[in-house]
Amino acid sequence: MATADDYESIKALIHEYCYRIDAGDLVGVGELFADAELGASVHPSRLRGAVEAQHNYDGVVIYDDGTPHTMHCVSNITVRIDDAVFVNNHPLAGAETFTFEVFFRPDPGGAAEQRWFHLSTRDPNTGQDTDTRIMFEIRVIGGEWCLEALVNTPKGYQPLIDRSLLHPLGVWHHVAMVYDGKELRSYVNGILEQKGALEFSPEDPGHSSVGVRINRMYYFKGAVRQARFTRRALAPADFLKL
């Protein structure tokens, strides 16, 4: 997780970036990203390393004095670090029934849509992600949040969400989804919220992400403390306790 030193390092990086680009030092700008990936709207893929990062500035006009005639003014920098964990394992691959539980704390200031725990199946031939998934999401509405528990398999799709069932941000909660072979159910703090019939086919092996969707979109703001995966349908009395 991010520390205070991480925040200060990023602030220093931003100041140094402004100094180098105003000085026309585009090679130096590239070197700032030597150990990083850089996303840019003008490039279809992420840029890796100093040389590729420098190419992001190929269109910058450098005048006779060696500068681009820019002057960046930077003050009161606020840094938001998007943390995520990627695990090369799908813990419910092959399960015919399951219970998926998590302790988490969604914090204020996050995006309206946050897809924060994703179990993804990979195509065995290509290694690419498929649309088959088990996922926890939240929607932030008026300073509170509601849960979406979603399962998608080749046989069936079931998203469970009720935007009227809202919960406070900034405190710890227990969420669970349970599949008993016929019905998918979602719970918040041990209370049943939604349920729906689901024709389910066991998912193939894959990988998982915590804190963001597997494609690094829809980041979560908050904390995730513990997850448990059980290959049978548990009753709420058997859930993990806060």
Are residues 104 and 213 both part of a single domain? yes
How far apart CA 183 and CA 164 sit, in angstroms, is: 22
Q: Same structural domain for residues 141 and 69? A: no
Short-list 154, 136, 2, CA closest to 81? 2
CA pair distance 178, 134, nearest whole angstrom: 11
Q: What is the pLDDT of residue 1?
A: 47
Mean local confidence (pLDDT), 208-222 = 93
Q: Are residues 135 and 70 in the same domain?
A: no
Whether residue 125 sits in one domain with residue 11 = no
The average pLDDT across 16-39 equals 86
Q: Which of 36, 60, 81 is the last residue of a domain?
A: 81
- pLDDT at residue number 41: 52
Same domain assignment for residues 203 and 98: yes
26 versus 45: the higher-pLDDT residue is 26
pLDDT tens profile 161-210: 999 999 999 999 999 999 999 999 999 999 999 999 999 999 999 999 99
pLDDT at 181: 96
Do residues 60 and 104 share a domain? no
The pLDDT value recorded for residue 37 is 72
2-11, 216-225, 231-240: segment of lowest average pLDDT: 2-11
| Number of structural domains the chain divides into | 2
Of the chain, the percentage scoring pLDDT greater than 70 comes to 90
Q: What is the pLDDT of residue 163?
A: 97
pLDDT of the residue at 24: 92
Residues 98 and 64 in one domain: no
The secondary element (H helix, E strand) that includes residue 139 is strand 129-141
**One domain, residues 75 and 98:** no
Q: Are residues 105 and 180 in the same domain?
A: yes
Domain membership of residue 169 as a residue range: 85-238
Of 32, 63, 81, the domain-final residue? 81
Longest dimension (CA), the chain: 74
Q: CB within 8 A of 172, min separation 6: which ones?
A: 103, 104, 105, 225, 242
* pLDDT tens for each residue of 41-88: 555 566 788 888 888 888 888 999 999 888 777 766 655 555 788 999
| DSSP-assigned states of every residue in 65-87 | TSS-S------S--------EEE
Q: pLDDT tens digits, residue range 100-151?
A: 999 999 999 999 999 999 999 999 899 899 999 999 999 999 999 999 999 9
Q: What is the CATH number of the domain that holds 159?
A: 2.60.120.200
| 123 and 232 inside one domain | yes
For residue 174, give the nearest of 119, 126, 239 by alpha carbon: 239
Let me know whether 53 and 143 are in one domain.
Answer: no
Token pair listed for 37? 């990936």
Mean pLDDT, rounded, for 212-220: 92
152 and 35 both lie in a single domain? no
Domain end residue (candidates: 24, 51, 81): 81
Helix, strand or coil for residue 15?
Answer: helix
The 10 Å CB-count burial string (b at 16+, else e) for 128-156 is ebbebbbbbbbbbeeeebbbbbbbbbeee
